[in-house]
Chain A
Amino acid sequence: MLRSLGVRLPGAAGTALKLATAQTKASSSSAMMMMMIRRGAHNSQYDATRLMGGEREVVGYGINGSPIYIDCADFPFPAIRYGEVSPESCALREKEQGDWKKLSIEEKRSLYRHSFCQTYAEFQHFTPEWKLVIGVALWAVAIGILGSIIYSIRLDRLTPETFDEDRRQAQLRRMIHLQVQPITGLSSKWNYETNKWK
C-alpha cells in the first residue's frame, strides 16, 4: 500500500505540474472559449464563426457579414484574409506600405497568397467531375429501366381475378342491366328490346 502510494504520489505531482503548465500555455485559447460561452449569444463580435476565423484579419463585409473565406468569381473579395497573422506576414505587410516596385515578384506572390487561397485560374480550373455526374445519372436511368422491365414481366401474374375475361364480361352485363349512362354512354348503345348492341 505504502509502496504503491510512494510510486503514485510523485506521478500525481508530475501530472499536476504538467496540467499547470498546460493551463498557462492554453490560457489564451481557454479565455477565448470562455468568452464564446459567456458572450456568444449576445455579442456577434465573439460568436463561434469569428472564433473559427482564428487570427485572421477581417478586411471586409463579405457575403453576409460573417467572417468566412470563399473563392468565388461572383464575389471575389471575401471578408477575411486567407492566411493567419504571423511575424513573417506582418513583416511583408510592413514592406508593402512602401513602394511596390521594391517588392520582388516572390514577395508579391506571397502577399497574394496571404490574402487569398486560390487564384482565378485555379478555382475556375475545369475538373473531370462531369464524368462522375453522367455516370451516376446513367446508372440511375439503367436501374429505373430494369425495374420497370421486371415489373411489367411480373404484372401478368400480379393482376387480380377481376381482370379475367369472363368476370369482365359479367361486369359489363351488370352495367347494362343497371342502365349505366343511358343518354349518351354505355346503355344508350344497347337495345333492350332485342338484347343486342344498337
Chain B
Amino acid sequence: MLRITAGKFATAMRGTVGTTASRVAAVRCVHGSEESAEEFDKRYEKYFAREGIDGWEVRKGMNDLLGMDLVPSPKVIESGLRACRRVNDIALAIRWLEGCKDKCGDQKATLYPYLLEKITPTLKELGVPTVEELGYDKPELALKSVFDI
C-alpha cells in the first residue's frame, strides 16, 4: 500500500518539484553573466528614459538605485531628473538629488562637487535647484517629539 502510494506521489510531484537538466542550465547561465558598470548605467539610463514612464516606476528605480552600494553616475542622475520632468514632479527631482548626495557618504567633499559639475547643465535646463540653493543641506525645521503631541 505504502509503496503504491509513494510511487503515485512521486509521479505526481515529478512535474512540480523535480529539477531537470535544462532548469539547472538556465540557473547557471544567469549566474554566469556579469554586468559591467557601463552596462548597468546604460540599463538604468534606458529605464528612466523610457517613453511613458510613470511616477511609480520612477520611484521604484530611484529607490532601488539608492538602496544599492553605489553612487549613481552623472548620466543616470540626469536621466532620472528628466524622468521627473516628464512626470511633472519637482519634489521627486529634489529628493533624488538629495539621495544622490547622501550616497556619496564620507566622500562628499570630493564626489559631490564632481557630480554637481557634471549635472549642472541639466539642472539649469530643467530649472531644478540644487540642495544648497534650497538651503536643504542644513536642517531647516525640527519635528515635535511624538511624546509631546
Interface residues of A (CB under 8 A from B): 59-61, 73-77, 81, 93, 96-97, 99-103, 105, 108-109, 111-112, 114-122, 124-125
Contacts and interface: CB of A to CB of B under 8 A. Distances in A.
Contacts, number: 94
A76 B66 contact: yes
B127 A115 contact: no
A176 to B, nearest CB: 60
- The B contact surface, by secondary structure, is helix
Interface size of B as a range: 35 or more
Contacts of B56: 59-61
Contact of A121 (B66, B90, B127, B138): B138
15 contacts: A73-B66, A76-B99, A77-B62, A93-B88, A96-B88, A96-B89, A105-B129, A105-B133, A108-B90, A108-B129, A112-B136, A117-B143, A119-B98, A119-B140, A121-B140
Interface string B62-77: 1100110000000000
A111 to B, nearest CB: 5
B134 A76 contact: no
Q: List the 9 closest pairs (A to B, CB-CB), nearest first.
A: A100-B127, A115-B91, A101-B127, A60-B59, A77-B59, A119-B136, A120-B98, A122-B139, A112-B91
B139 A119 contact: yes
A13 B122 CA distance: 67
Contact of A76 (B98, B137, B138, B142): B98
Contact of B59 (A59, A108, A114, A118): A59
B90 A96 contact: yes
B134 A122 contact: no
B99 to A, nearest CB: 5
A128 to B, nearest CB: 13
A112 B141 contact: no
A60 B95 contact: no
